[in-house]
Amino acid sequence: MEKVLNYIGGELVPAAGGQWLDKPEPATGQLYAHVPDSREEDVQSAVEAAGRAFPAWSALPANERSRYLRRIAGLIHERLDAFARAESIDTGKPLAVARTVDIPRSVLNFEFFADAATQFSSEAHPMDGVALNYTLRSPLGVVGCISPWNLPLYLLTWKIAPALAAGNCVVAKPSEVTPMTAYLLSQVCRDAGLPPGVLNLVHGLGPHVGGPLTRHPEVSAISFTGSTRTGAEIARVAAPAFKKLSLEMGGKNPNVIFADCDFDEALATTLRSSFANQGQICLCGPRIFVQRSLYPRFKEALVARTKALKVGDPLVEGTDQGALVSREHFEKVMGYIALAKQEGGHILTGGQRASVPGRCANGWFIEPTLVEGLAPTCRTNQEEIFGPVATLMPFDDEEEVLSWANSTRYGLAGSVWTKDLTRAHRFASRLHSGIVWVNTWMLRDLRTPFGGVKESGVGREGGWDALRFFTEPKNVCIKL
């Protein structure tokens, strides 16, 4: 039985209290690891270690910090197969997805911000020969990074890399549900020679680790990705202490398909945006709106494609859909399928626990599910399910579908499919969303800002926005 360890002050250590959490494998339902059940004293040790490391780390020239990030990226790349296998076992996602998406993107996060650290610049504002204003940007100090379970290393590194690049020291809380690649990252950091205390990883439950981290007076900022409920609690605790906050939370994203779309491209991408990572991505498009004249043809084709997806052992090549991340989440998603039926929905395909023989017979698998016949305002279409469940709804015109698309309390992302560029620009500008894809999905440029509106979050991550978040601006005015 493997034991995950905390990474505090450069050392791999268990929780100070000696307590452990059980970690089952989603594909089998069987226990395979123990995770530290860390508490406030572990967070305190990590913050103290980060505080000790901060003066030297922040004083390092940007090109030297860049070398450390690049060294970490190189070691993850060298160990890609080990990282990918660990991610697949830990999350239940297909090994091929972890190998081609999650781990390569994690490498890219470090590489991108290694470059950005050496290119980040400040602004200057001359005052017509009277004075010169310029802006200095300084690291905040010790910052907290709290990451979710659905893309464990991908989103953890998305936060850690810019924080370190900007000269901060980090105390991070990976999800206790999927801790393994964070543990492997801590070993990589030791092998890369990262100075002790620059990065600290504390494993455990949200109330026991995330809560103390958010409350700690020496933690200057919190970058969080996760549920809207948890984000609201973080905001409630952090706001009175005037901490900087970046909160990337839930989504109930619309996928709007007009009759003049590229049918084949819209169909293939809709399949992916509905069920990628078993639907466990905040950017998925589970509300599929199709213009009425195209609806019958599109529905028939999407149902056929969905039925053809192979649900199976995540470690076996050719598996399209793996297991859901935990028993609790499996039960939540199955509860929403039952709700969809109660609300009058018709299951077009799926809707059942998937049977996977052999070692995965007791795993948490759900058939990819399509539902029609539901109103846009029903709970199934308003609440985040975060699983392999999508709804289809026909619409007549642009104004109608825009009102439906904007009807939820979320506003993270959306997709629009049309060959009419005027309509594409018009619709994108009116969609209540932080991100809009036109004739594509999940096409990401790391230089662009990432984040949502309404209850999908506040703040932006990515590119210069991430480096601005992790620094404090100071204006200097010199009279000439």
Q: What distance in Å separates the CA atoms of residue 254 and residue 432, rounded to the nearest whole number?
A: 10
Token look-up 């950017």 returns 283
- Closest C-alpha to 44, from 194, 187, 179, 200: 200
- Compute φ and ψ for 245, nearest 5 degrees: -130, 135
Paired sense of beta strands 346-349 and 244-248, if any: unpaired
- What are the catalytic residues? 248
Amino acid letter for position 221: A
Tokens of 168: 């901060």
Tokens of 215: 């409350």
Paired sense of beta strands 244-248 and 254-257, if any: unpaired
Could you give the count of Cα atoms lying within 13 Å of 33 in the half-sphere of its Cβ? 22
Amino acid letter for position 178: T
Q: For residue 9, what is the DSSP state?
A: T
- Compute φ and ψ for 103, nearest 5 degrees: -75, -45
Q: Is 430 helix (H, G, I), strand (E, B) or coil?
A: helix
Q: What distance in Å separates the CA atoms of residue 176 and residue 15, rounded to the nearest whole number?
A: 13
Q: What distance in Å separates the CA atoms of residue 367 and residue 390, rounded to the nearest whole number?
A: 12
Cα 95–101–102 angle (5° rounding)? Answer: 80
